[in-house]
Amino acid sequence: MGSKSKSEFRLPILLGLVCCLSLARAQALGSLSESFRDLSRRVHPSVVKVVATGFRPLDEEDDTAEPGVLIRQQSSGSGVIIDPEGLIVTNAHVVTGAKKIQITLAPIRDELRRSAARPRGRVLRAELVGLDVETDLALLRVPPVGLSALPLADSDQIEQGQVILAFGSPLGLDNSVSFGIVSSTARQLKPDDPMIYIQTDAPINPGSSGGPLVDADGRIVGISTLILSQSGGNEGLGFAVPSNIVSNVVAQLRKSGRVVRGEVGLRVQTITPTLASAWRLSQEWGVVVSDVEPETSAEKAGVQPGDVIRAVNGKTMENARQFNVNVYRPPIGSVIQLELTRDQRTLTVGLPVVERKSEPEQIAAMGGREENLISDLGVFVLDLTESVREHLGPLRHDDGVLIASRLEDSPLFDESLKAGDVIYAINREPVRNVAALRAALKRLKSGDPVALQIERQNKLAFVAFELP
């Protein structure tokens, strides 16, 4: 028999190696796939669909830029159970102004079922514990009926490129899952915005709002909140509220139903290289005071626009967001120490932290419910209770009615009443509360003249019109 060449011996060996490598790859892919399936099975019971009926604020793309304007609608989104006692986190924009909130639990898996179509999960009525417009987070409560909760991760530990899964109900398709990575760990959508987001390329679409981003261990790293899209659908630019922010907001909502933030009467911005060059500063980063609000402790302490803030309570300030976070986190009434530089001089001032006033959108969220609607005027109103007054600045009178928001299709077409107005009298009759306003309007008929005394932006005025 003739001898075989070396190539004839190598061919079977190479074929064997290829087969082994292919098998190894197949096993690795199979193992990865099983890991995702196992993770999905563990997360699945904690993800819910949220449906809210009532009123919602106008979006930025709607035809008005006026804050505190609501329209009627039914909205749907997603949520995640964070406590087996019945606490669910979702987005504030999903439930703002809701008259009725329902959540649909994930269906219980039954290995005996053979149908590919899954049964529908239980539907529960949810109550709103509280919401926070600034972070777009809301806390709901449902009866604790055998619920499965997910833990919150430490979002400061996540890294760019980390694998995550996004759960939610995109376009109403309940309990869907998509796969992606962390694109950015701390994305600001606007310069100096105190809010940061986790950016991901995991497909997120309308309806996914409020659903969780989870890591490989099944922990919540963020709550899906918004997308940037030219088409209205997923383009790989999804954003989630980091879990550490969620944890802080949930703790406050659970305790008091609202989030309290402090301020010291300063507006600041981040120093840019151009600004540093123009002012011949020694560093191209940091924080500069852009405005000092009148009649605040900052003004009384002599802080001036143009002062450079070096440190807060001994901690170096690198940008405006860092400063704002370090101001609104300390307890109300505490004093923070600011180290400033002005004309190459170093100054130290102590400023007491006071509660920050609510924006019109936050006040609108408080009152946008059916029971607060005065249909004759097309406005949502609130009594000036102590809790409501905490959100407002000084007022001229103790009694009155706050206009929290107004309907987009209000019968007062000239927009004579706006969110934030306070009604003190109707046709010279004092209005002490919402009940008094309803009673006064009930005595009038369509076409009767009405003259309201209101306070708007600390100034008194009269608004006159015929009752629709």
What pLDDT is recorded for position 257? Answer: 87
Q: Which residues are within 8 A (CB) of 387 and not within 5 positions of it... i.e. 6 or more apart? A: none
Work out the percent of the chain whose per-residue pLDDT is above 70. 85
416 lies in some domain: yes
Q: Are residues 331 and 190 in the same domain?
A: no
Cβ-contact 238, 224 below 8 angstroms = yes
Q: For residue range 68-119, what is the model confidence (pLDDT) as tens digits?
A: 777 777 888 999 999 999 999 999 989 887 888 999 998 876 555 555 566 6
Cβ-contact 305, 289 below 8 angstroms = yes
Position 357 pLDDT exceeds 50: yes
Q: How far is CA 417 from the centre of its chain?
A: 27
Q: For residue range 364-407, what is the model confidence (pLDDT) as tens digits?
A: 666 666 678 888 888 889 999 887 887 777 888 989 999 988 87
Which of 13-27, 54-68, 110-124, 286-300 has the largest mean confidence? 286-300
Separation CA 91–CA 316 (nearest Å) = 33
Q: Is 224 noted as a catalytic residue in this protein?
A: no
Q: Are residues 88 and 195 in the same domain?
A: yes
Separation CA 329–CA 355 (nearest Å) = 10
Cβ-contact 363, 420 below 8 angstroms = yes
Q: Which residues are within 8 A (CB) of 432 and not within 5 positions of it... i.e. 6 or more apart? A: 399, 400
* Active-site residue (options: 78, 183, 209, 224): 209
* Active-site residue (options: 46, 76, 93, 155): 93
Q: Which residues are within 8 A (CB) of 342 and not within 5 positions of it... i.e. 6 or more apart? A: 304, 306, 307, 308
* Active-site residue (options: 132, 136, 174, 201): 136
Q: Are residues 68 and 144 in the same domain?
A: yes
Q: Are residues 300 and 439 in the same domain?
A: no
Domain holding 347, by residue range, is: 262-355
Please tell me whether residue 264 adopts helix, strand or coil conformation: coil
Q: Is 209 noted as a catalytic residue in this protein?
A: yes
pTM of the model: 0.74
Cα dihedral 211/215/219/221 (nearest 10)? -60
Q: What is the domain-level CATH number for residue 99?
A: 2.40.10.120
34 lies in some domain: no
Cβ-contact 289, 309 below 8 angstroms = yes
Which of 325, 355, 385 is the endpoint of a domain? 355
**Helix locations, 53-160, DSSP H:** 92-95
Q: For residue range 221-264, what is the model confidence (pLDDT) as tens digits?
A: 999 998 887 666 677 789 999 999 999 999 999 998 888 888 89
Q: Is 93 noted as a catalytic residue in this protein?
A: yes
Nearest to 134 by CA among 356, 312, 309, 292: 356
Q: Are residues 335 and 371 in the same domain?
A: no
